[in-house]
Structure 1
């Protein structure tokens, strides 16, 4: 048996290839939309990908299961558990097997057994892996998807906070509690292979270690220590990360099926003479570094640096409208992969960055905290903290108003225009994006250099909740 690990750092997403060398076949667990990595790995190992399995209808990225079905005819293994609202659709013409609790399927001589582990979502399943080709009669590990993570457990509130299905968070939390109790009955030696690591919004406090064991999680995972259902519910529903708006889109896309990548039109360059006008009507995203954008940029554009594109575009791009980018032809393919991994397919064109110099007439200031302190404390400047609510609630600068970066477009009408603004986050990256958005909307804005971390390093005071 072969087990290969793949990790997308931008999405904190883990996927896996299981291969049976005897049969020359492989299956991918929870694949991303960028399937070339699996095809190349399988070829290198002398394997053919014959299947793709999902632990649930994912909310944080576009699944690559159907892409593998279109590309190589992979058979899909999909959950048939849960409510009618979250059943897979549009499977006609695809080889697909809908699976339930204790169903079994094989790749060569490697057995996968389905466990229904609801809570994160009603249809969530896990896969027990047994290498029968290697002579094993007992499982070696479990693919837990978004059920059990290293040091954490999946959040049960996404159907409510992302998909708007009110009243489902507590129901999910109680399902998750009973799934957790069932997990505790598994043998300690089982390896645990989750679908996410630290940084994912699918749970709180996820560990950065790629895998664990059932026994170790029983010892250290705080979510697995509860034996009182109500205390568990209270714990799991508190202090979850902000829910990205695009999660609702991803749920729908993965339920009905994304478009094959081959069907998407090419993204062509646009004459830069159209840039200034287009930026007044549509969303144009400049992918330059924050410092470069702050000093010189095209009025009306916003800034999401390439390294932050996958994390923040889903919050800030309207999925129902076309979006344009300022980038380079060399950087574009990787950027499109990042965007399409979260379902942003409506990229209408791009402007070659080197050809936009003459149009970069706008700028905003980036100023160290010590030079801003007096004006902030006297009320001459309005301080906008764009960190997550959990960060803001932990500690903040006195007088700061909280407007989470991901909600900024939606909260613009609640921000007063009576004085200049200072945007601030932890280290200056998120606040630079916020500054670009606020400037686009006509605010006078300054970005705090180095964020609240630099504020504290300068010896300036913060307050705690």
Structure 2
């Protein structure tokens, strides 16, 4: 049997290749947008991709299933339980239904319909026929069952979440009951994804371990208690999720060869950025961005949760241009791949030579002032500036600086209504990454005296402030 997991750390997204060593045939489940990773894997190992499946219509990333099937001639198979639902698959495919079976050489995948995260969601029960036709080896659970959690039921809106939570209760009780404790659980996400609350970092578990430790699989919960628990403490929903649902239901366009791999003249970028014709994303770390950047640029470092924040805060109405320190093609390609995975395909290119060449050309620069935690606390106490805490609600409630105004990162796109743009402000997060994102947004919104708190609340607490 062939079994491989591919992890996109930026979105904590897992895709899988399952196949038969004897025939060399492969199925790819929940493929990421840039599908060359699977094409290369098959070519390098002498395999052939014959099946492509999605467990559901994804919200957090744009699926590569349609393009991968088109490039390989594979059978494209998705849930048929989307009929009559708000999101339906609108491109050519084969429908899969509860009870269907897919055979790939000695490998068998049994299809189970497990609604709850979405109405059409499927789970695949995987059997390695070379070892046993009766005992399943693995569950490919998508966004149904996570390590330590379940998929959130509220992505289709307030009006749908209660009914979906109750469907999830029935899916847990009915579709897992006959499966053995020893079967492996391979979810579609790990910790860091917003598709569920309280996920653990390990990419794999067993059903028996989840039965004993996963709080949502507690058999003592009745339906009402289960629904209450499932709807508690859910993370904020990134607003690019509905857009991705629409893209995935209509059918994503092809992205290979990759867009944006074109070097652009620094002077032209400077002119167009100042005129608001493009959105420049600066990929460097917060201190480098603070020291000097292209006017109106967004500071979203490639070494952090780039894919999530770029998907969340990048405007829809202007082309994207990327810039790093020196125009390194590998860095640019990494950023491009992350952007297209969240549906940001409109990438014109990158600054030739990066900020090094931009600075040597004598082009305009802006700065984001950096402030240590001691100066920040003193300035807030004296009334010289307002502290804007851009972390999540749970983080803010767990402890924050005196006088801080809570405004999560994504909400800073609308400014901070309680604070006048002429008022000096300092953005703070956990370490300084998200506050750089927020600080750059506020500067684009017209806030004139913006600071970033270096080290964030981690440094604040270590200094006993």
The partner residue of 1:304 within 284, 292, 300 is 300
Question: Is structure 2 residue 209 aligned with structure 1 residue 216?
Answer: yes
Q: TM-score, structure 1 length as denominator?
A: 0.93
After the TM superposition, list the runs of 4 or more consecutive aligned residues in structure 1 that deviate by more than 6 angstroms: none
Deviation at 1:427, TM superposition (A): 0.9
Q: Distance in 2 between matches of 1:84 and 1:194?
A: 24
The partner residue of 1:124 within 121, 126, 130 is 121
Deviation at 1:183, TM superposition (A): 4.3
Greater alpha carbon shift after TM alignment, 310-319 vs 111-120: 310-319
The partner residue of 1:450 within 443, 450, 455 is 455
Match of 2:239 in 1: 245
Q: Deviations over 1:15-60 (max 9, x none)?
A: 1111101222010111112222222222333321111111101111
Q: Secondary structure at the match of 1:456?
A: helix
Q: Deviations over 1:260-312 (max 9, x none)?
A: 12377554332222233312313222222211110111222221112232121
Taking a change above 3 Å as real, the CA distance of residues 264 and 361 of structure 1, as seen in their structure-2 partners, is closer
Given that 1:88 and 1:255 are in contact with CA atoms closer than 8 Å, whether structure 2 keeps it comes out as: yes
Given that 2:421 and 2:446 are in contact with CA atoms closer than 8 Å, whether structure 1 keeps it comes out as: no
Deviation at 1:368, TM superposition (A): 1.1
1:258-337 alignment to 2 at 5 Å?
Answer: 258-262=252-256, 267-280=261-274, 281=276, 282-308=278-304, 309-327=306-324, 328-330=327-329, 331-337=331-337
Q: Deviations over 1:174-206 (max 9, x none)?
A: 111111112441221211110000111100111
Deviation at 1:345, TM superposition (A): 0.5
Taking a change above 3 Å as real, the CA distance of residues 232 and 366 of structure 1, as seen in their structure-2 partners, is same
Q: Distance in 2 between matches of 1:15 and 1:294?
A: 36
Question: Is structure 2 residue 119 aligned with structure 1 residue 114?
Answer: no
Greater alpha carbon shift after TM alignment, 377-386 vs 250-259: 377-386
Q: Secondary structure at the match of 1:115?
A: strand
Q: Distance in 1 between matches of 2:101 and 2:242?
A: 30
Q: Distance in 2 between matches of 1:373 and 1:135?
A: 64
Q: Distance in 2 between matches of 1:263 and 1:85?
A: 32
Q: Distance in 1 between matches of 2:269 and 2:255?
A: 27
For these two proteins, the number of residue pairs brought into alignment is 451
Match of 2:195 in 1: 202
Match of 2:95 in 1: 98
Q: Distance in 2 between matches of 1:267 and 1:227?
A: 52
Q: Distance in 2 between matches of 1:412 and 1:350?
A: 31
Deviation at 1:216, TM superposition (A): 0.6
Q: Distance in 1 between matches of 2:260 and 2:269?
A: 19
Match of 1:366 in 2: 370
Q: TM-score, structure 2 length as denominator?
A: 0.93
Given that 1:131 and 1:137 are in contact with CA atoms closer than 8 Å, whether structure 2 keeps it comes out as: no
Q: Secondary structure at the match of 1:111?
A: strand
Given that 2:377 and 2:401 are in contact with CA atoms closer than 8 Å, whether structure 1 keeps it comes out as: no
Deviation at 1:244, TM superposition (A): 0.8
Given that 2:103 and 2:109 are in contact with CA atoms closer than 8 Å, whether structure 1 keeps it comes out as: yes
Q: Distance in 2 between matches of 1:378 and 1:223?
A: 48
Match of 1:44 in 2: 44
Question: Is structure 2 residue 223 aligned with structure 1 residue 229?
Answer: yes
Deviation at 1:75, TM superposition (A): 0.9
Aligned-CA RMSD value: 1.8
Greater alpha carbon shift after TM alignment, 76-85 vs 169-178: 76-85
The partner residue of 1:436 within 436, 440, 462 is 440
Match of 1:8 in 2: 8
Match of 1:174 in 2: 166
Q: Distance in 1 between matches of 2:416 and 2:271?
A: 23
Question: Is structure 2 residue 251 aligned with structure 1 residue 254?
Answer: no
Taking a change above 3 Å as real, the CA distance of residues 325 and 50 of structure 1, as seen in their structure-2 partners, is same
Q: Secondary structure at the match of 1:379?
A: coil
Deviation at 1:132, TM superposition (A): 2.2
Match of 1:380 in 2: 384
Question: Is structure 2 residue 191 aligned with structure 1 residue 192?
Answer: no
Unaligned runs of 5+ in 1: 161-165, 461-465
